[in-house]
Amino acid sequence: MVVIVEGVGLHTGLPVRVQCTQSDDDARLSVCGKTVRILDLVVVSTEWRTEVASMEHHFRVCTVEHAFAACAALGLHRGITLSMDGSEMPILDGGSSVWCDALGQLNIPPAWPRARVARSGIIDVGSSHYEFEPFEGVEVEVDLVSSDSRLSRHARWDGGETDFRQRIAPARTFAFERDIESILELGLARHVPRTSVVLIREHSIDFEGRSFESDEPARHKLLDLMGDMYLHGGPPLGRVRARRPGHRANMAALLRARAEGLLVEHPT
């Protein structure tokens, strides 16, 4: 069975088509005929999104975090191949709901995470703070850390697919107005669908479509963290708490957690 997802990249503004198919191996990403195990991808940029490449640099793909978060929530550590013909995953609904619906059609049995928390520990990356704790299930929490009283800071995922689909996956990409100039100077955000992005201004919160809830930015930060952890076999078995997470800090913390033995391989 093949499920097709089509859309436009948020940053490149280019159309892209992604084929989601069943396989008999570890989760893989295929770009223009070059196929790589997702666990073997290299993170090459974390500037406002997560960008990955094959180790041989046959390809680079950005904004993978929303698709990978859905894979993580559905337990698709094996049995899935995402094949695409572009350099950026589509923005779609701004979160992971479309990805969950598409991938769910494949009826792939969920697999255990490929990583687990081996011992308790804390990792600080600049102003970002990460706590790891052994636990028999999977739990992820984030603290957005914002002085904006309109925003709720906390979000939590209980490790269940239903919880992710209902609360986390619908959380849209967001940006603060103060960051827009920097984003545009980098040549990013060429395609900003009004129904898929929330803009937080000093005196208003701009959005269209479904209603905005005060914890939506925190839930989206949690979604992004899950997508980043998927590149390291997670979210892992255990509890992970992140204060002020971001793509750059997420990757640095996960690499250190591996190096320091907080995160280890979990046998499948």
- Whether the pTM exceeds 0.85: the reply is yes
**pLDDT value of residue 15:** 92
- CA–CA separation, 61 and 51 (whole Å): 6
**pLDDT value of residue 82:** 96
**pLDDT value of residue 14:** 87
Treating both helix axes as pointing N-terminal to C-terminal, what angle do 216-230 and 65-73 enclose, rounded to 10 degrees? Answer: 80
Residue 46 near residue 248 (C-beta atoms within 8 A) = yes
- CA–CA separation, 170 and 16 (whole Å): 21
Mean pLDDT, consecutive 10-residue stretches, the chain (268 aa), reads 89 89 92 90 88 84 94 95 91 94 94 93 97 95 91 95 96 84 69 81 90 94 97 95 96 96 85
